[in-house]
């Protein structure tokens, strides 16, 4: 296992070096096509560093480009590359605006992207073919088998299948009671009693034991067999007998721990990525969009009704900590701020109805994002009165407060926004919020933001 991890680390570094080399080559080629020279001007040398740095971030945290899994379908690999370049372009465009790099040649940038995409795409295709050849050939340096066909065995097989280690070759499963309807049934070589003979005949190097840890005698027997025949014997714990749901297992100072709930944002690296994006995105909106729309919306609100431009209200945030949430005022001044807006609500002004339908009333919340009280994407912060009520009647309601609330969320773009006069509507919101927590990814945030903008353009019938 450690040998594989070390190989992967070296592999990733080598692929990153290859990428940087190809990007540098693409820059020089693009500069020659655009200006007829291979010498980059100073501003393009600076831009090359920025371009490469963003590519390192994109390829690193999402594994889009630093994987060469031969088992991933061709269309999936193509989609991964496209997604990586879309994300890279989005972040780079934000950097160009923030650092005032508009003087860069758009034509040179286009040439650079096209040539980089072709070079990196072609390099990954070649690496895929090499990986596939070595993985399926007799030249594979390490041959391994898995004892068991349960959840732990399947997870291990999937992990190794998605591993970019061309020196490992999977030789089969061994189980006394395999599932004959499993798609992996053809890879079962026999029962546990057949394992020793098979290993000796085929020169197996590693045995992974992925069955419930209930038979100490069997584990000791196989361990002794492996030791006596110069094979590595590794145990992959199967907790399916005591844990009936998906879990995450990790090591804390060499102490194994199980997390019952899957939460990608538990990882500090993911939290850093999300927070960095929140700061960059909120600053962009505050500096470039807010100064333009504030005078227009403020004038419209003042002409439409008496009262302040902004509306402030306490909302429960992460771990139920209250914070002051900012919005443009969309209602006549009233004393019923803890009552949810309804369809044709007389409290909502004419301008307020438009702001709500287009989500423009939420723009001031980007200050909440900058302050860290909110995120661009996350479960919407409900009213304090809703927290008190729904936490008593919806089992998983409090789970949504494990993460920072957002300006927009998965539930909202999935059709669950507006009034929640029936309990099942709030239950569906909570369901989508929990799904977001358990399946978070940067691309998921990008998708939600895109759908939010699209809904703003077309309008939403449940926004009132």
**CATH code for position 248:** 3.40.50.720
- Give one word for 138, left, alpha or beta, with left for phi > 0 and alpha for psi -120 to 50: alpha
- Give one word for 368, left, alpha or beta, with left for phi > 0 and alpha for psi -120 to 50: alpha
Whether 208 maps to a domain, the answer reads: yes
Its pTM stands at 0.53
SS3 448: helix
* CA atoms of 195 and 209, how far apart (whole Å): 11
pLDDT along the chain (464 residues), means of 10: 47 78 88 79 76 78 44 55 77 77 77 87 79 58 87 83 64 89 87 94 92 87 91 80 58 62 79 92 92 92 92 90 93 81 84 88 94 94 82 81 91 78 83 90 90 79 59
Same-domain status, 430 and 300: yes
pLDDT tens digits, 20-77: 899 889 888 888 888 877 777 766 777 788 888 888 877 754 444 444 444 344 555 6
Domain span at residue 217? 142-260
Whether 8 maps to a domain, the answer reads: yes
Same-domain status, 285 and 400: yes
Residue 72: CB atoms within 10 Å: 16
Please name the residue that has the structure tokens 């102490």: 255
Please name the residue that has the structure tokens 């369901």: 431
Same-domain status, 227 and 78: no
Instruction: From 260, 287, 316, give the residue that closes a domain.
Output: 260
Q: Where are the alpha helices (DSSP H) in 337-438?
A: 350-358, 365-371, 384-393, 410-413, 423-438
Same-domain status, 169 and 130: no
Q: How far is CA 382 from the centre of its chain?
A: 25
SS3 283: helix
> Cα-flanking dihedrals φ and ψ of residue 384, to 5°?
-60, -40
Whether 275 maps to a domain, the answer reads: yes
Same-domain status, 132 and 146: no
Whether 386 maps to a domain, the answer reads: yes
* CA atoms of 206 and 201, how far apart (whole Å): 14
Instruction: From 237, 260, 283, give the residue that closes a domain.
Output: 260
Whether 463 maps to a domain, the answer reads: no
pLDDT of residue 268: 82
Same-domain status, 179 and 130: no
How far CA 451 is from CA of 30, 48, 292, 377, 444, in Å, comes to 34, 32, 23, 12, 11
Same-domain status, 273 and 250: no
Whether 464 maps to a domain, the answer reads: no
Same-domain status, 284 and 229: no
Total residues belonging to the chain: 464
Same-domain status, 156 and 252: yes
Whether 34 maps to a domain, the answer reads: yes
**Mean pLDDT, the chain, whole residue set:** 81
pLDDT of residue 460: 64
Same-domain status, 161 and 14: no
Which residue, 441, 67, 62, is CA-closest to 264? 441
> Cα-flanking dihedrals φ and ψ of residue 310, to 5°?
-105, 150
* Token pair recorded at residue 456: 């703003």
Instruction: From 209, 237, 260, give the residue that closes a domain.
Output: 260
Same-domain status, 295 and 314: yes
Same-domain status, 346 and 402: yes
Beta strands across the sheet bearing 232-235: 188-190, 168-174, 142-147, 206-209, 232-235
Dihedral angle sign, alpha carbons of residues 156, 157, 163, 168? positive
Into how many domains does the chain fold? 3
Whether 187 maps to a domain, the answer reads: yes
């Amino acid at each position: 296992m450690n040998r594989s991890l070390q190989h992967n680390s070296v592999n990733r570094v080598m692929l990153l070096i290859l990428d940087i080399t190809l990007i540098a080559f693409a820059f020089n080629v693009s500069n020659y096509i655009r200006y007829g020279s291979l010498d980059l001007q100073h501003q393009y040398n600076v831009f090359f560093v920025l371009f490469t740095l963003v590519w390192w971030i994109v390829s690193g945290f999402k594994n889009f480009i630093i994987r060469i899994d031969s088992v991933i379908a061709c269309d999936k690999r193509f989609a991964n590359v496209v997604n990586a370049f879309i994300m890279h372009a989005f972040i780079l465009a934000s950097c160009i605006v923030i650092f005032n790099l508009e003087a860069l040649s758009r034509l040179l940038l286009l040439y650079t992207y096209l040539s980089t995409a072709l070079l990196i795409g072609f390099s990954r295709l070649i690496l895929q073919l090499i990986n596939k050849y070595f993985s399926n050939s007799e030249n594979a340096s390490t041959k391994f088998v898995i004892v068991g066909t349960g959840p732990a065995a399947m997870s291990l097989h999937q992990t190794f299948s998605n591993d970019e280690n061309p020196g490992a070759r999977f030789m089969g499963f061994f189980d006394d009671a395999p599932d004959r309807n499993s798609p992996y049934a053809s890879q079962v070589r026999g029962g546990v009693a057949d394992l020793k003979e098979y290993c000796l005949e085929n020169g197996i190097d590693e045995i992974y034991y992925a069955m419930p840890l209930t038979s100490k005698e069997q584990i000791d027997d196989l361990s002794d067999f492996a030791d006596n025949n110069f094979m590595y014997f590794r145990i992959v714990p199967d907790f399916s007998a005591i844990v009936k749901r998906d879990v995450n297992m990790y090591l804390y100072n060499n102490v194994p721990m199980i997390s019952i709930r899957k939460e990608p944002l538990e990882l500090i690296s993911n939290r850093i990525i999300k927070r960095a994006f929140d700061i960059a995105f909120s600053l962009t909106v505050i500096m470039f969009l807010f100064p333009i729309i504030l005078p227009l919306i403020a004038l419209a609100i003042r002409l439409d009704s008496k009262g302040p431009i902004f509306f402030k209200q306490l909302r429960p945030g992460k771990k139920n900590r209250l914070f002051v949430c900012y919005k443009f005022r969309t209602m006549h001044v009233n004393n019923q701020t803890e009552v949810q807006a309804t369809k044709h609500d007389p409290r909502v002004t004419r301008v307020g109805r438009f702001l709500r339908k287009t989500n423009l009333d939420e723009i001031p919340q980007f200050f909440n994002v900058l302050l860290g009280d909110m995120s661009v994407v996350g479960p919407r912060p409900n009213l304090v009165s809703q927290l008190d009520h729904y936490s008593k009647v919806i089992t998983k309601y409090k789970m949504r407060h494990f993460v920072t609330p957002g300006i927009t969320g998965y539930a909202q773009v999935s059709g669950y926004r507006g009034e929640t006069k029936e309990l099942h509507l709030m239950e569906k919101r909570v369901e989508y919020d929990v799904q977001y927590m358990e399946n978070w990814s940067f691309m998921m945030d990008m998708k939600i933001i895109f759908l939010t903008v699209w809904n703003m353009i077309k309008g939403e019938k449940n926004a009132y």
